[in-house]
């Protein structure tokens, strides 16, 4: 079905053309599943991970179903993090424009007055729960006219303690709205939330996790603590890599590593929870544009980040569990492109990392051999053959 077009799904010519202008012509699997039902007005429950194309799976039906004359906001998209909200809005602008629709984004950490002004007139409002409640309490936004409600990364919103805020927000929207619910899991509390918010939904599960993990080249590199920096520098000097995301455990560790890399002649930027929103946005923009090709991040700060062109993910500090490993390594190998995941493993971490590798079906690639027999991480076997294509014209399946 790779030859299927958006027009085949019922997408209009103007929106299809706007997508084609960005070299997006063939829908991803989750889009093929969700878009037809959403276009028909059905509520949808979709189990789909970040990086699968789910952002366009809900944005396309929104821009198709809304009209220029509809009251604002006609569609509300709730996202758990500022980064994800900003990326969804960025993704929406081009296709909304061809339908004469306005897009606004609202999140904390920046001035509220300009956001309030834009939110009053936007057909599509993308917001984090806390900032949206602030706008509602100021009387800047009313949700009486919401026709379509999207909860993106609903499980993440629950993990972050947003359930009370989301309940308050949803209770003020019309009962006859259309609800599109996206989550990495539809079990437990996320499943119960989905049952409450949706009405006779169409359910779709797109779970490429295992297959996707195995499409990425995984390397577990035993290192001594005193050799970690030198090994990282050697890896980053490999000419075959493109954008590279380096994960560390702590905020302090992220800043310290950027300084150490700078002393080694490698420019990098960092994002973590102690950075201001403007600092995080500037760092991410420089990385996404390729002005700096190394981004050092903590797990929490990287939630929702989906940057096209990441050829390598390096776990400078090993993840705590297999879910953390999946979250980190899922930043590469997007949209069918090649990806390399490299994990530095200290001697005392071999047992725990072996368990993670085994749980993900990667035990065959996990060894405790000396570093030099591993080969250079990112060498010929790890090169991103699609790296030049990956910089532009790819679907940016932005999600959190």
Instruction: Give tens-digit pLDDT for 355-365.
Output: 888 877 787 66
Residue 282 structure tokens: 């500037």
- The residue assigned the tokens 């493993």 is 345
Could you report the per-residue pLDDT of 26-57, keeping only the tens digit for each?
Answer: 898 889 999 999 999 999 999 876 666 789 99
Highest mean pLDDT among 34-38, 160-164, 247-251, 301-305: 34-38
- CA–CA gap between residue 169 and residue 185 (Å, rounded): 22
> In the chain, which segments carry CATH 3.40.50.300?
7-207, 210-390
210-390 CATH, one of 3.30.56.10, 3.50.50.60, 3.40.50.300, 3.40.50.2300: 3.40.50.300
**Mean predicted confidence (pLDDT) in 381-390:** 36
Percentage with pLDDT > 70 across the chain: 84
Q: For residue 384, name the pLDDT band (cuts at 50, 70, 90).
A: very low
Q: What is the largest CA-CA distance in the chain?
A: 66
| Burial of residue 262 (number of CB atoms within 10 Å: 0-12, 13-18, 19+) | exposed
The residue ranking higher by pLDDT, 173 or 361, is 173
Percentage with pLDDT > 90 across the chain: 53
pLDDT score of 360:
76
Residue 96 structure tokens: 């909304």
CA dihedral 269, 271, 277, 283 (to 10 degrees): 20
* Lowest-confidence region among 120-134, 192-206, 370-384: 370-384
Q: Which residues contact 148 (CB under 8 A, 6 or more apart)?
A: 61, 62, 65, 66, 74, 75, 76, 177, 178, 179, 180
pLDDT score of 111:
87
Q: What is the CATH number of domain 7-207?
A: 3.40.50.300
pLDDT of 2 strictly over 50: no
pLDDT score of 160:
81
């Amino acid at each position: 079905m790779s030859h299927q077009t958006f027009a085949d799904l019922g997408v209009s010519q103007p929106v299809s053309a706007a997508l084609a202008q960005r070299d997006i012509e063939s829908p991803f699997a989750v889009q093929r599943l969700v878009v037809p039902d959403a276009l028909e007005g059905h509520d949808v429950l979709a189990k789909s991970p970040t990086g699968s194309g789910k952002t366009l799976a809900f944005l396309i039906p929104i821009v198709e179903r809304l009209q220029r004359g509809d009251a604002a906001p006609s569609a509300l998209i709730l996202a758990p993090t500022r980064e994800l909200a900003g990326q969804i809005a960025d993704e929406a602008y081009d296709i909304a424009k061809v339908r004469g629709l306005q897009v606004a984004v609202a999140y904390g950490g920046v001035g509220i007055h300009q956001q309030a002004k834009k939110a009053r007139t936007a057909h599509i409002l993308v917001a984090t729960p806390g900032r949206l409640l602030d706008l509602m309490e100021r009387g800047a936004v009313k949700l009486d006219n919401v026709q379509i409600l999207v909860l993106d990364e609903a499980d993440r919103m629950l993990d972050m303690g947003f359930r009370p805020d989301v309940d308050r927000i949803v209770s003020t929207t019309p009962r006859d709205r259309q609800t599109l619910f996206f989550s990495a899991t539809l079990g437990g509390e996320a499943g119960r939330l989905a049952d409450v918010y949706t009405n006779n939904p169409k359910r779709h599960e797109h779970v490429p996790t295992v297959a996707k993990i195995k499409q990425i080249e995984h390397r577990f590199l035993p290192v001594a603590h005193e050799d970690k920096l030198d090994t990282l520098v050697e890896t980053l000097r490999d000419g075959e890599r493109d954008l590279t995301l380096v994960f560390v455990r702590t905020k302090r560790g992220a800043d310290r590593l950027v300084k150490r890399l700078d002393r080694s002649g490698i420019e990098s930027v960092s994002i973590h929870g102690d950075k201001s929103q403007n600092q995080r946005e500037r760092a991410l923009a420089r990385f996404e544009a390729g002005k700096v090709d190394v981004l050092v991040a903590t797990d929490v700060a990287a939630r929702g980040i989906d940057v096209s062109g990441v050829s390598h993910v390096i776990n400078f500090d090993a993840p705590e569990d297999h879910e953390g490993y999946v979250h980190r390594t899922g930043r590469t190998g997007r949209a069918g492109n090649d990806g390399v995941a490299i994990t530095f493993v200290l001697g005392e971490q071999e047992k725990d990392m072996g368990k993670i590798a085994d749980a993900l079906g990667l035990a065959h690639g996990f060894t405790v051999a000396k570093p030099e027999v591993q080969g250079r991480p990112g060498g010929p076997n790890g090169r991103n053959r699609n790296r030049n294509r990956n910089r532009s014209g790819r679907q940016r399946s932005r999600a959190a």
